[in-house]
Amino acid sequence: MKGKDLLSVADLTADDIGGLLDHAQEMMGTRGRQLEGKTVALLFEKPSLRTRVSFEVAARHLGGDSLFLSPAEVGLGTREPASHVARVFSRYVDGLVVRTFAQGTLEELAQHASIPVINGLSNQEHPCQALADLLTIQQKRRKLAGLTLAFVGDANNVARSLLLASAKVGVNFHLATPSAYAMDEDTVSQARSAAATSGSRLLFTRDAREAVTGADVVYTDVWTSMGQEAESVQRRKDFSAYQVDAGLLSAAPDAMLMHPLPAHPGEEVAPDILEGPQSVIFDQAENRLHLQKAVLARLMKGNLSRE
Ligand code: CP
Ligand code: NVA
């Protein structure tokens, strides 16, 4: 781990990821005092169930405290600039989890904060989700390298973090999107460079069946992410051939079906398979807690490395 923050999967080495997953696994069901006397603040510009609750519970499981603020209360960027918000938070609390729109807001907060800043979802990335998802896959399959994850739908924040994380740890990553919603070139090139080291094979296609065939994990997420609501009608049309349903999943009969939630059943995923035997969505949700306990324990003592 290069710095004090977790803003992007790009901040992590493969060893950082492996260490975090092992630490998270060890912390399952445990309580500790690692955050005793410390407070984590959550500043969220978008709604949340999992991220908010799992971070707040994680802080308490480690003997710490948490507080939640909506941007309307803080006036981030309107009442006062992000640089001042970061410097004031740094005088009161010991860590800041931020859910925001622009990745640049996170970077600005991190630059001016003396405390760790953690990305709790931006338009660009959702690193804690991707790490918790790798934990889920590792628990189910007892390994990561050499497995194939097929992501079907929008090349969004969740897809981007999963692509970068998979490429680092040697998971083959197949991404099926409509061509107008493909992954940006900069992320593809970062992923290719990580994959060249890890041996991960990457496939970018418009053909959902090609992506899914023989995969170990079939993953989908909403077609309309938070903040894109004005595009939802158009997106429903553009993605209509990308629903993960029983027919598509039959191309990967042994795969686990993953979704970060909240889902829009009947859009990106058929209701029967979301609730079906291949679905691991609630294990995924649970693992947000375990993974974030490891993130908090490590970052609050200075960095993400173990010792
Ligand atoms: N998966 C996830 O981040 O859920 P929330 O938006 O409810 O936090
Ligand atoms: N891509 C979704 C993920 C929600 C957890 C969004 O940004 O709304």
Give, using CA atoms, the residue closest to atom 6 of ligand 1.
Answer: 48
**pLDDT > 70 in the chain, percent:** 97
* In the predicted structure, residue 231 carries a pLDDT above the cut 60: yes
48 lines ligand 2 (CB under 6 A): no
* pLDDT of 27 above 90: yes
Give, using CA atoms, the residue closest to atom 3 of ligand 1: 51
Res 147 pLDDT > 70: yes
- The CATH code that applies to domain 127-284 is 3.40.50.1370
Summarize pLDDT for 269-280 with one digit per residue, the tens.
999 999 999 999
| 153 close to ligand 1 (CB < 6 Angstrom) | no
- Indicate the top mutation candidate among 288, 289, 291, 292 to test ligand 1's pocket, ranked by most ligand atoms within 8 A of CB: 288
119 lines ligand 2 (CB under 6 A): no
- What value does the mean pLDDT take over residues 131-142? 98
Looking at residue 73, its pLDDT comes to: 85
Ligand in nearest proximity to the CA of 154: 2
pLDDT of residue 1: 45
Q: Is the pLDDT of residue 305 over 70?
A: no
pLDDT at residue 104 in the model = 97
CA-nearest residue for atom 4, ligand 1, is: 50
pLDDT at 35 over 90: yes
221 lines ligand 2 (CB under 6 A): yes
Res 292 pLDDT > 50: yes
pLDDT tens digit sequence for 63-121: 999 999 987 788 888 899 999 999 999 999 999 999 999 999 999 999 999 999 999 99
For atom 7 of ligand 2, the residue with the nearest CA is 225
Would the pLDDT of 216 be above 80? yes
Answer whether 162 contacts ligand 2 (Cβ < 6 A).
no
Task: Place domain 9-126+288-300 in its CATH homologous superfamily.
Answer: Aspartate/ornithine carbamoyltransferase (3.40.50.1370)
Task: Give residue 44's pLDDT.
Answer: 96
Q: Report the nearest atom of ligand 1 relative to the CA of 226.
A: 6
What is the side-by-side order of every strand in the sheet holding 39-44? 65-69, 39-44, 95-99, 117-119
Across the range 201-219, mean pLDDT stands at 98
Ligand 2 pocket: which of 46, 52, 126 to mutate (most atoms within 8 A of CB): 126
pLDDT-derived band at 306, boundaries 50, 70, 90: low
Average pLDDT, integer, range 213-235: 98
Which tens digits make up the pLDDT trace of 176-188?
Answer: 999 999 999 999 9
Q: How far is the CA of 175 from the centre of ligand 1 (A)?
A: 21
43 alpha carbon to ligand 2 midpoint, in Å? 16
For the chain, give every domain's residue range.
9-126+288-300, 127-284
The pLDDT value recorded for residue 213 is: 98
* Ligand 1 neighbour 284 (Cβ under 6 A): no
Residue 304's pLDDT is 66
Q: Give 303's pLDDT tier (boundaries 50, 70, 90).
A: low
- Is residue 50 lining ligand 1, measured as CB closer than 6 Å? yes
